[in-house]
Amino acid sequence: MSEIFIGVDLGGTNIKIGCFDSELKIIGKTSVSTQADMGPDAVVSKMAQTAEELLTGENLSLDNVSAVGMGAPGPARYKEGVVIAAANMPKFKNVPIRQMLSERLGKPVIFENDANAACWGEFVLGAGKGVSDMVFFTLGTGIGGGIICDGKLVYGFADNAAELGHTIVYPGGRLCGCGQRGCVEAYASANSTAKRALEALEAGVQSSLKDVLDEKGEITCKDVYEHLAAGDELAKQITDETAKALALVCVNMLHITEPKRIVYAGGMIGAGKLLLRRIRDYFSEYIWFLKAETVEICFATLGRDAGIIGAAALAKKAFEEGQFDQQ
């Protein structure tokens, strides 16, 4: 029987599931709404059922599956497989989700932070291919991160390393949802992009975004990038601020774990080449002159599949390394 690996990306809105062959080539994938308000038991049943249907549709069954990988947002005790709490899934409190899914499927399951899973996906099959040291950012509503040193994910002493959105770039700066001031998330997330645009318009700054606000009553990150493409000055300024904050974190990460590649994923990369170019420009401006740096700053390549690919790849790795033998 061929060895199949399943990757699950559990989000507050959707559950994405993919099945992969032993070379991590995707066989099939699907997405269903999480309906997290139904509670953990119902969500686990839905995950299991969806995985089984996906397999059936590909003329496969659970018998073909070697292991399952699942990514989910923190905070969690990843090694134990327990979700402590989840902002978008209020009914999930201290849920032993790894064990629940494993028992429901009769398969070993590995449980991982969602940003780490996506980071691992990009590392193995995407923008991180061919390097051993990488830093990964998901620029979404908030900012998540993943760090790979010498081919291994960095977990930290309590599995909460790589909370890169909450590194402070401007002490005393903008208030972040986490309670700190000056976090990069408060300058470079999708939420912050929209919020900074709104603040500027409310302060009377002239911009084509004003029409959007008047019409829709709100501004989104997507609006900002559309008006950036159209040459709006305010959209340019906001993107510039975003790039500065991200470039400062690049400088710091270079001096901390010294990655060969820094990879950005998430909705914010919709800003396109202009954002990337500005990050690179500010990095060159800020970085020391003690030696020339060759770090590559680039966008992710796997899109929304990074999470399921990474989860499946981590399941494969754990399976091959015999990590499930004790479970």
Question: In the complex, which residues of this chain contact its own copies (CB under 8 A)?
Answer: 75, 131-133, 147, 149-150, 152, 154-164, 166-171, 176, 178-181, 244, 248, 251-253, 255-260, 286-291, 294
3-state SS class at 287: coil
- Of 15 and 135, nearer to its own copies (C-beta) is 135
Beta-carbon count within 10 A of 152 CB? 12
List of residues 6+ apart from 180 with CB closer than 8 A = 166, 168
Helices 40-57, 97-105: crossing angle, 10 deg rounding: 40
Q: Which amino acid is at 310?
A: G
Size of the chain, expressed as the number of residues it contains: 327
CB of residue 317 vs its own copies: minimum separation in angstroms? 16
Cis peptide before 75 (omega within 30 of 0): yes
Q: Is the distance from CB of 76 to CB of 84 less than 8 angstroms? A: yes
- Of 15 and 169, nearer to its own copies (C-beta) is 169
Q: Strands 296-299 and 261-265, how do they pair?
A: parallel
- Of 166 and 280, nearer to its own copies (C-beta) is 166
- Of 165 and 310, nearer to its own copies (C-beta) is 165
Q: Is the distance from CB of 311 to CB of 289 less than 8 angstroms? A: no
CB of residue 248 vs its own copies: minimum separation in angstroms? 6
Identify the burial level of 101 via C-beta atoms within 10 angstroms of its C-beta, where 0-12 means exposed, 13-18 middle and 19 or more buried.
buried
Q: Strands 143-149 and 134-139, how do they pair?
A: antiparallel
- Of 62 and 85, nearer to its own copies (C-beta) is 85
- Of 75 and 270, nearer to its own copies (C-beta) is 75
CB of residue 204 vs its own copies: minimum separation in angstroms? 26
CB of residue 242 vs its own copies: minimum separation in angstroms? 14
- Of 159 and 281, nearer to its own copies (C-beta) is 159
CB of residue 207 vs its own copies: minimum separation in angstroms? 25
CB of residue 133 vs its own copies: minimum separation in angstroms? 4
**Residue 299's Cα: distance from chain center in Å?**
13
CB of residue 161 vs its own copies: minimum separation in angstroms? 4
